[in-house]
Every structure is written in C-alpha cells, then in structure tokens.
Amino acid sequence: MRALAARLFRDAPRRDKIPAWVQGSDQMKFTMMVLSLGASLGGSAAWADPPKTLRVTESVEIKAPIDEVWATVRDFDSLNKWHPGFASDELVSGGNGKVGAVRKLTIKDGPTFTERLLAFDAAHHSYRYKILESPLPFTGYASTISVRPGPAGTTRVIWSGSCKRKNPADNPPEAESDAGVTKLLKGVYRGGLDNLKKMLEH
C-alpha cells in the first residue's frame, strides 16, 4: 500500500503539465485527494497493531514438604495425574527430565496437542516447556512450573506462561481475544494448582 501511495505521488502531474483549465480550485481538490489517499494508505499499517505478548502467572501454597510436591509435578508425563482437565499425558520422545523430550497431551473431551521440554532444573525444582502443535487460540506459548519453599513450612507452586493470540484481527471473537486467551490460561493454571493442593493436603 505504501508503494501505491508513493506511485500516486510520483505520477501526480506537475503544475507545468496541468492544463490551464484544471488549475486553480480544481487543482487544489486533486492535490488534497492525493494527500488524503496517501495518508490513509501509508498509515493504515499503524492502525492494526500486531497481537501483544500476554503473560499469566498463578500460584498456590500447599501444606506439604517441598520434596513431596516436586515429586508430584516434576515428571513431564505426569500432568494428567494432578490436573483434572487432562485425560492423558504420554512421552512420545525422550525421557523425563531430559531437555528436548516431547509429550502428547489430551484434554478431557477435547483435542490433543504436543509440547517440548525446554529446560529442567532438579536442584531448583523447576522446568520450562513450549507448545509445538495445538488447536488452542494462541501461539508462541512457553511456560514454567516452579516449586519454592513457602512460609511456615509450606511449599509454593508457581505456574507462569506467555503467548500471543492467533487471531490478528482488531476485534476478534471474545474467546480469541487477549482477554479470552488470558482467561483461558488462568483457568487452566488454577484448575491444576487448586487440585494439586487438594491432593497433597489430604
């Protein structure tokens, strides 16, 4: 579009090329038309901002030893054991704690998607992963699960992630909007963390 605007300006006739009968007020109208079109074409890209990076963090304090909590969440193929939203979690390549391992997750009554382990730190009780393929309404998703000592002998589990919505439209459907994607992730995190607390505080 910028090239078209530039071509319009380039091809606009010079005053010495404009017949006398179109000079004056008609020439002014023509000039204003070209300027207006050039501004709209040149500036349209600025009106449609690209999707921004969304960041979500949820946490929970659990009345259980840190080693017990870490043992529950550390395996890359164990998400379905503590998150009620997942029907299955299986490794399709690599092994638990091995960077590069890939798992296949199946949501209960829902789709299947794959994730890759990006980092694993047993000493600091954390791991990081990203989604490879997913029908979910966001892209570029990466997430970290960390287990930390909490106050008074409790353990704190932190689940954080970042992504961008897939739909680049200025006004996408609610479920595909920034607010919709953020709400979805918060719901996933809370569902898992709250159930983990319930499991370990028996």
Residue 53 CA: distances (Å) to CA of 48, 79, 97, 162: 15, 25, 28, 7
Yes or no: say if 102 and 92 are a contact pair by the CB < 8 Å rule. Answer: yes
Tell me which H or E stretch contains 145: strand 138-149
Yes or no: say if 138 and 52 are a contact pair by the CB < 8 Å rule. Answer: no
Yes or no: say if 87 and 64 are a contact pair by the CB < 8 Å rule. Answer: no
Distance CA 17, CA 175 (A): 56
Phi then psi for 55, rounded to 5 degrees? Answer: -125, 130
- For residue 73, what pLDDT is reported? 98
- Sequential pLDDT tens for the chain (202 residues): 434 333 333 444 444 444 443 345 544 444 444 344 444 434 433 445 889 999 999 999 999 999 999 999 999 999 999 999 999 999 999 999 999 999 999 999 889 999 999 999 999 999 999 999 999 999 999 999 999 999 999 999 999 999 999 999 999 999 999 999 999 999 999 999 999 999 999 7
Residue 85 CA: distances (Å) to CA of 76, 89, 108, 109, 191: 16, 11, 6, 9, 7
pTM: 0.76
> Per the CATH hierarchy, to which homologous superfamily does domain 54-200 belong?
START domain (3.30.530.20)
- For residue 109, what pLDDT is reported? 84
- For residue 51, what pLDDT is reported? 94
